Chains A and B, each alone.
Chain A
Amino acid sequence: MKHMLEMIDYSVGVVMMVVFAVIVFGIMNTLFMALYERTFEFGVLRAIGTRNGALRGLIVREAAALAVFASAIGIVLGALLIYIGSIYGMNLTGVEFAGTTFTEGIHTVFRIRQFLFYPIIIILFTMLVSFYPARHATRTSVSRALQRSF
């Protein structure tokens, strides 16, 4: 049973890595789309005197704020699901898994790691990946960014 639980932990770790990879690409894609739509606005900010470093900082802080907001929603929804799972559980009596037969239902439990560690990782990842689109936004020439008008 101990080996089986270790295996489950290991496979959960692998799944989490894949999930994080998907999240990272998702965040980067979302940020790129959001920044692309605002190329013109960033062009205006740079034209009237915003330094590139300040603009990059603005974009990274905005991404961090979005990540904090999204994590807060995720934490609330996750806590709610775990709470429901801890009360009602899942009846697996008689189900055999990896040579072991469940004799009672299973119930979800709160783990502080899930509510602290993962959100922090997500926020840090978001800030990290936002550097690339932020850099891209400041490398576009101002005159090109303003092509719609000036």
Chain B
Amino acid sequence: MDTVEKLIVTKNVRRDYRSDSVVVHAVRGIDLTIEKGEFTAIVGPSGSGKTTFLNLISGLDTPSDGAVFLKEREISSMSGNELSDFRRDHIGFVFQAYNLIPVLTVEENVEYVMMLQGVDKEERHERVSKMLEKLDLRGYEKRFPPELSGGKQQRVAVARAMVAEPDIILADEPTANLDSHTGAALLDMMRQLNRDNNMTFLFSTHDQHVLEKAGRLVVLEDGKSVRDEVKS
């Protein structure tokens, strides 16, 4: 009996952009299922539709056709507030450029999503403290993001994504702005979190380190999935 939870299911999802008379087919009918605990990389050259596809999966963009199901709920049926709440409770984001709030300290950045969730102050501080410990960020609680190196900022971004205990973490080229050593260390840490906590990760990338560590590779070309390979 199949007991693995299907977190994301896309059915023939398409996204077209219209600019004057030109129609750009960014995503051309992708079927994909992501199960809980996967460590999957979406790979492909620039313009292959990786970022657009991640936007569609996370409900940041709406498909022109087809359907996206997150935890068996079709996201196009959700209102704006439902989508915001859904992202808050089920999806963690790690962006290429870290995207921390510069006027908030490290611990404030990490606890922000829990504030939105209405978690009480004591529990927030406890969870932030544990997460910063886990990501080796102890001592940086009161620092502001611009005072940190790129690698540390990205670790804070991972902490922010994970602390609210989402079902899946979506990461768009998370190592693109990091040197190879820092990027590899960050990936090892994410892989460890994936193994220890059964946290699901979905990356878009063309970083060789990510490809080596991924448990599954989905290759996109011209907005289509051309290969789906599960590594042993």
Question: Which residues in A have some Cβ–Cβ distance to B below 8 Å?
Answer: 40-41, 44-54, 141-143, 146, 148-150
A146 and B85 contact, Cβ closer than 8 Å, known pairs A44-B101, A48-B112? no
Chain B residue with minimal CB distance to A41? B101
C-alpha spacing A142/B101, complex, angstroms: 16
| Nearest chain B CB to A37 CB, angstrom units | 12
Asked if B65 is an interface residue, CB under 8 A from chain A, the answer is: no
A41 contacts across to B, CB distance below 8 A: 101-102
| Nearest chain B CB to A9 CB, angstrom units | 45
Chain B residue with minimal CB distance to A51? B84
Does B61 contact A141, Cβ atoms closer than 8 Å?
yes
A40 contacts across to B, CB distance below 8 A: 99
Does B87 contact A47, Cβ atoms closer than 8 Å?
yes
C-alpha spacing A40/B117, complex, angstroms: 22
Closest 4 pairs between A and B when the two form their complex, measured CB to CB: A49-B88, A143-B61, A149-B96, A143-B60
Does A48 contact B93, Cβ atoms closer than 8 Å?
yes
C-alpha spacing A48/B156, complex, angstroms: 14
Does B95 contact A52, Cβ atoms closer than 8 Å?
no
A146 contacts across to B, CB distance below 8 A: 60, 95, 99
| Nearest chain A CB to B208 CB, angstrom units | 21
Does A150 contact B87, Cβ atoms closer than 8 Å?
no
Chain B residue with minimal CB distance to A49? B88
| Nearest chain B CB to A65 CB, angstrom units | 13
Does B172 contact A50, Cβ atoms closer than 8 Å?
no
Does B113 contact A48, Cβ atoms closer than 8 Å?
yes
| Nearest chain A CB to B212 CB, angstrom units | 23
Interfacial residues of chain B within 70-129, with CB under 8 A of chain A in the complex: 80-81, 84-85, 87-89, 93, 95-97, 99, 101-102, 112-113, 116-117
A143 and B87 contact, Cβ closer than 8 Å, known pairs A149-B172, A150-B93? no
C-alpha spacing A78/B150, complex, angstroms: 47
Does B87 contact A52, Cβ atoms closer than 8 Å?
no
**A52, A53, A54, A150: the one within 8 Å of B172 (CB):** A150
A50 contacts across to B, CB distance below 8 A: 84, 88, 116
| Extra 8 A-B pairs, beta carbons < 8 Å, given A49-B88, A49-B113, A150-B54 | A48-B116, A49-B117, A52-B80, A141-B61, A146-B95, A149-B95, A149-B97, A150-B96
A44 and B84 contact, Cβ closer than 8 Å, known pairs A50-B116, A141-B61, A150-B55? no
Does B60 contact A49, Cβ atoms closer than 8 Å?
no
C-alpha spacing A148/B81, complex, angstroms: 24
Does B87 contact A49, Cβ atoms closer than 8 Å?
yes
Asked if B58 is an interface residue, CB under 8 A from chain A, the answer is: yes
| Nearest chain B CB to A86 CB, angstrom units | 42
| Nearest chain A CB to B48 CB, angstrom units | 16
Q: Please, could you name 5 A-B residue pairs with CB atoms under 8 Å apart, sorted by A?
A: A48-B93, A49-B89, A141-B61, A148-B97, A150-B55
C-alpha spacing A54/B117, complex, angstroms: 13
A46 contacts across to B, CB distance below 8 A: 84
B28 contacts across to A, CB distance below 8 A: none
C-alpha spacing A50/B97, complex, angstroms: 20
Interfacial residues of chain B within 139-170, with CB under 8 A of chain A in the complex: 160
Does A52 contact B81, Cβ atoms closer than 8 Å?
yes
Does B55 contact A143, Cβ atoms closer than 8 Å?
yes
Asked if B205 is an interface residue, CB under 8 A from chain A, the answer is: no
**B97, B116, B173: the one within 8 Å of A49 (CB):** B116
